[in-house]
Amino acid sequence: MTTNTLEPIEKRNMNTVTPELANQSEDSTPAIQADNLNAWYGDFQALHSISLSIPKKQVTAFIGPSGCGKSTLLRWFNRMNDTIHTARATGNLSLGDMDLLDSSTDVVDLRRRVGIVFQKANPFPKSIFENVAFGPRLHMRLEKSELSDLVEWALRKAAVWNEVKDRLNAPALGLSGGQQQRLCIARAIATGPEVLLMDEPCSALDPASTLAIEDLIDELRDQYTIVIVTHNMQQASRCSDKTAFFFEGRVIEFDTTEKLFTQPDSQTTDDYVRGRFG
Amino acid sequence: MSSENRKDEIPSDGATANAGASGSRADKEKTLRGSDSRMATDRAFRRACVIIAGISVVILTFLLGSIVLQGLPSLSITLLTGTPEPEPSQAGAWPAIAGTVWVCTICALITLPIGIGTAVLIEEFRPKSRLGRRLLSLIQLNISNLAGVPSVVYGILGLTAFVSMFGLFGAAKNGEPAFEIGATYYDQFTNLASDPFLSMGIEDAEERYFLAPVAASSDPPTVPKSGMTMFEYIGETLEPVTINVVGAEDFPPTDPKELSLSVDGNSIPGRISEKAWYYFRLPFGRGVLAGALTLMLVILPVIIISSQEALRAVPSSLRDGARGLGATSWQVIWNITLPAASPGILTGSILAMSRAIGETAPILIIAGIVYIRNAPHHLMDSYTVLPLQIYNWTSRPQEEFHAIAAAGIVVLLVILLSFNAIAVILRQRMQNKVR
Amino acid sequence: MSRAVAESDASSNNLDARVNALLSRSRRNLGSTRLRELFIYAALIACGLFSLLITVSIIGVLLTETLRFFQFDEVTVGNFLGSAQWTPLLGATKSFGIWGLISGTLLVTGIAMALALPLGLITAIYLSEYAPRKVRDVLKPVLEILAGIPTVVYGFFALMTITPFLQWLHEGFNVYNAMSAGIARGPRCFPQVCSLAEDALHSVPKALRDGALGLGGTRFDATIKVILPAALSGIISAFLLAVARAIGETMIVALAAGSRPQATLDPRDEIQTMTGFMVQMAGGDVSNFGTEYFSMYAVAFTLFLITLSLTMLGNLVRRRFRETYE
């Protein structure tokens, strides 16, 4: 398996963190902070007074039954909800010193810093290279060689380089589902975000591809703050440091993954993680 | 025959299954009254449908067949390259074909950006304010209503808005321009040699034309004087020439050379004009540009609606993907949505253009029936289009012209069908490429 | 294998350093992007407003010129709306009764619709309920081509083929007659009726159809008793839109229907439609400032009002119909 041969390389990569990134990992201020956040779609209240801190350089999982608001919250983290004109929110939500609810906040700047990977892989109908180069081209002026460096780097990070390096100009839609999803992750990290949001990234994939993505998340955790929404409790327990359990628009419990899955405080959480409903 | 049984049989589509089933049923039992006759009705109705639906094929075959039969004998190179001579055997449609190419090309260049822009505005922007959303739905409603406006009404609008420009430049009597650039006016004199009476006896004196430049078209006629420098066409270039004026009492010179340079002092020159390729005037008059703009009015709603459909077919996950990477609205549209929608937009646009090529009524309203011998040379040049030429030939009494009209229709249909074919091929190619 | 790994190891080490340097560079300034965005948005809004401007200027132009028409001494509103005598070119006895033109328009449209509606509807039913794929693949392009043939071609066909045939059938037919134009207009309109009606039939939920079939109805029963009634308003809107389109059609009547406005129901007779009159005015050499010239605008305005109200009504019914099933 190509992913396996890549593993040592990726391990090494983690040691060569930029000084800037290294500094960030030391401070303990949260990457994203929500205080008493309420959100609506029209008259329907999707989130009820959410307060939680997403820790830096860790993997945070959001679990809960469908319609519980976990994707809504994720989409507020980089304002993907802006396209829905009935969506609105009150309370506080901040990324560092950036107020995420302020209408004057530059969403373009925000989305450079907070990348997102969607449930269904959505590569652009362009070549593999163009898919990854899309973000960097928007945000930076790059020489040709710099751009190809960046593309190679991102594809290596996303553990698809070996599979696609000989056909970078082939259409991305020709890749398998799992490869497409990793391509989308490469595309997201090519813009150099601080936070990577993943909205059920494996729900449309087969078990082997899911495993590849989970390995990848494991590789990326030291450099990026990762928030992953998942239906799959095993997945949350396998790859996250902290887990938040959502139910009917509220955060019922937010704790280290280990504690939440073994000794939850709330009965609802217990019932859910044991598969009694959901 | 249980109802259970029938339930299974009937939804199974296809004539054979049903016919076979009802046949065997008729043999076996007659417990359920009316079921046979209902089956028969169904079969009869199906047959009627097939026949009626077949009528469209018959109509098309008959229509095309009769026209091709009438037109084929007259189809010749002369038809494609010749000018619309009054003699049927020499009549050609070249000026009309060139006019169609001019008008439709300009029309496409103007309409496509506006049409696609409007479609993008409606489909891709979700204004936050209520007022903005109201405005967009008003525009949307307006477009679906514009699509139903008869093209002849657009012709009337074009006549007022483009040909005479609402009379803003003074009532444009005789279609005279109020403002123009790129035109040079001359007064044209003929020499005495062209007058058979005055040049009598001097056989080898050649006819010559002398041009005196005039500053503006409204200037009084030039009065010729001896020793005046005028211009004369030698081939394609204007050469200066000094003329000699012969008064009413004077005898014309007898020297052929001198005679050829002589002009009658009392002659009234003809005012002619030379127009450069960039000639521009206001109001536009009955020129190519006015025609193109009028056709724009006709096909704009068509292009907007088909582009909207193409944009709607682009999955929103692609937009989300680009937006999530920090692309601005326009970057999403330009880099992702438009390229993904381009096969649909292109197909719709080509079909809209083929409609523009066939439009007759609005062009007839704004250009009228005029006799055009040349392909247009500039944006304001007078022109005719192929369907208008066909109308012209059809409405003449001589039967020979009807055959030429049929041949013209064959040419027109070949152009239109190849446009449709291009649209279909493009659509398939682009679809394959994306997959 | 291990050598390859070692090599790429070294190079990826370099790569990492280079890319980290790249990513720590400052990003492109958003100011100019925003400004460009704003300009483009403004341009797009201008495009959108342009379509509104077209409507406004159609109404503006037609209204002002029509008012100018009514200011002529020889024109009265009563005559215009109350008479069927349309004789603007008969010097001494000019009369401007719009009904003379409307009746001709309705006669030709009526004939065309009598052909196009049943033909279009039944073809639509066949296409949506019965036709196998292969037949659809043939019929659809045929309909598209029929709809795409320019009207001047149908006009030629009417004058050169239909009229002689009608005259051969019955001697009473004039060279120019309403029947011929109506017959030629039929096939021109019917693809539109067909595609709109098919849309309507398609949007009837599958459950309704399956329900009817499941209760033991034949396909004919299901179509006539369930699907047609369910799709009725969609079909009505298809008819309205097709009638609006037919009324505005110009070149067929200009060639085949003649130029004598008269209120008659005899399809063998020469008539004139509103569109036909406009073409006659524009094609002939009428003075640009006479009453008859401005009467063209009054006719255009009448035509515009009729087609607009039919289109709006059709679109309204269509939207209502769609809402029912969405």
Query: From the DSSP assignment, how many helices (H) and strands (E) are in chain B?
Result: 15, 7
Statement: residue B145 has pLDDT above 60: yes
B166 touches chain C (CB under 8 A): yes
Chain C, nearest residue to A194 by Cα: C23
B28 touches chain A (CB under 8 A): no
Asked if residues A89 and A37 have their Cβ atoms less than 8 Å apart, the reply is yes
Average pLDDT of chain B, as a whole number: 82
pLDDT, position B170: 66
Residue A99 located in a structural domain: no
| pLDDT bucket at C285, cuts 50 / 70 / 90 | low
Chain A residues closer than 8 Å to C30 by CB:
106, 108-109
| Sequence-ordered alpha helix ranges (H) in A114-241 | 128-139, 144-157, 161-164, 177-189, 207-220, 233-239
Least CB-CB distance to A138: which of B318, B319, B325?
Answer: B325
For residue C187, the surrounding DSSP H or E stretch is: helix C178-202
Residue A86 located in a structural domain: no
Residue A24 located in a structural domain: yes
Q: What is the pLDDT of residues A58-70, one digit of tens each?
A: 999 999 888 888 9
Chain B residues closer than 8 Å to C216 by CB:
3, 6-7, 10
Sequence-separated (6 or more) residues with CB below 8 Å from residue B82: B90, B91, B92, B93, B94
Residues 245-304 (B) with a CB less than 8 A from some CB of C: 297, 300-301, 304
Which of B21-25, B42-46, B256-260, C190-194 has the least mean pLDDT? B21-25
Average pLDDT of chain A, as a whole number: 85
In SS3 terms, C118-175 reads as HHHHHHHHHHHHHCCHHHHHHHHHHHHHHHHCCHHHHHHHHHHHHHHHHHHHCCCCCC
Q: What is the pLDDT of residues B353-383, one digit of tens each?
A: 999 999 999 999 988 888 888 888 888 888 9
pLDDT, position B121: 95
Chain C residues closer than 8 Å to B49 by CB:
122-123, 125-126, 130
More confident: A264 or B428: A264
| pLDDT bucket at A179, cuts 50 / 70 / 90 | very high
Q: How many domains does chain A have?
A: 1
pLDDT, position B25: 46
Chain C residues closer than 8 Å to B120 by CB:
44
Which of A154-158, B388-392, C11-15 has the least mean pLDDT? C11-15
At C101, the amino acid letter reads L
What is the extent of the structural domain holding A137? 2-32+52-68+110-273
Min CA distance, C320 vs chain A (Å)? Answer: 24
C138 touches chain B (CB under 8 A): yes
Highest mean pLDDT among A26-30, B161-165, B331-335: B331-335
Residue A115: CB atoms within 10 A of its CB come to: 27
Nearest to C240 by CA among C321, C181, C300: C321
pLDDT, position B7: 39
Q: What is the mean pLDDT of residues C295-317?
A: 92
Residue A236 located in a structural domain: yes
Statement: residue B19 has pLDDT above 50: no
Least CB-CB distance to A138: which of B331, B340, B434?
Answer: B331
pLDDT, position B75: 85
Statement: residue C324 has pLDDT above 90: no
Residue A75 located in a structural domain: no
Residue A88 located in a structural domain: no
pLDDT, position C16: 82
Chain C residues closer than 8 Å to B358 by CB:
148-153
Average pLDDT of chain C, as a whole number: 85
Chain C residues closer than 8 Å to A5 by CB:
1, 5
Q: What is the mean pLDDT of residues C49-69?
A: 93
Domain at A226, CATH number: 3.40.50.300
Statement: residue B305 has pLDDT above 90: yes
| pLDDT bucket at B23, cuts 50 / 70 / 90 | very low
> The complex's ipTM?
0.89
Least CB-CB distance to C5: which of A8, A109, A152?
Answer: A8
| pLDDT bucket at C155, cuts 50 / 70 / 90 | very high
Asked if residues A100 and A94 have their Cβ atoms less than 8 Å apart, the reply is yes
For tokens 């006015």, the residue is: B290
Q: What is the pLDDT of residues B259-288, one digit of tens each?
A: 778 888 777 888 888 888 888 887 888 889
Chain B residues closer than 8 Å to A135 by CB:
325-327
Alpha-carbon torsion (C261, C265, C270, C274), positive or negative: positive
Statement: residue A6 has pLDDT above 80: no
What is the share, in percent, of chain C residues with pLDDT greater than 70?
93
Q: What is the pLDDT of residues C77-101, one digit of tens each?
A: 888 888 878 887 766 677 888 888 9
Q: What is the mean pLDDT of residues C71-75?
A: 83
Highest mean pLDDT among A99-108, B160-169, C113-122: C113-122
| pLDDT bucket at A37, cuts 50 / 70 / 90 | very high
Tokens of C107: 């006669």
Q: Return the CATH fold of C80-324.
A: MetI-like fold (1.10.3720)
Residue A90 located in a structural domain: no
Q: What is the mean pLDDT of residues B235-253?
A: 79
Q: What is the mean pLDDT of residues B16-32?
A: 45
Statement: residue B87 has pLDDT above 70: yes
Rounded alpha-carbon distances, angstroms, from residue B87 to A121, B40, B253, B369, B387: 68, 62, 42, 18, 20
Q: What is the pLDDT of residues B41-74, one digit of tens each?
A: 888 888 888 888 888 889 889 999 999 998 888 8
pLDDT, position A10: 39
Which of A246-250, B111-115, B209-213, B299-303 has the least mean pLDDT? B209-213
DSSP symbols for A20-85: HHHHHHH--S-SEEEEEEEEEETTEEEEEEEEEEEPTTSEEEEE-STTSSHHHHHHHHTTGGGGST
Optimal mutation site among A98, A122, A191, interface B, most CBs of chain B within 10 A = A122
Q: What is the mean pLDDT of residues C169-190?
A: 89
Nearest to B188 by CA among B69, B269, B250: B269
At B397, the amino acid letter reads P
| pLDDT bucket at A16, cuts 50 / 70 / 90 | very low
Least CB-CB distance to B318: which of A124, A171, A187?
Answer: A124
pTM, rounded to two decimals: 0.85
E strands, chain C, where? none
More confident: B162 or C289: B162
Residue A13 located in a structural domain: yes
Sequence-separated (6 or more) residues with CB below 8 Å from residue C51: B118, B139, B142, B143, B146, B300, B301, B304
Sequence-separated (6 or more) residues with CB below 8 Å from residue B246: B192, B198, B252, B253, B262, B263, B264, B265
Domains of chain B plus CATH, in order, are 3-69 (no CATH), 77-168+284-434 (1.10.3720.10), 179-278 (no CATH)
Chain B, nearest residue to A118 by Cα: B321
Residue C54: CB atoms within 10 A of its CB come to: 21
| pLDDT bucket at B196, cuts 50 / 70 / 90 | low
Q: What is the mean pLDDT of residues B227-232?
A: 83
pLDDT, position A84: 83
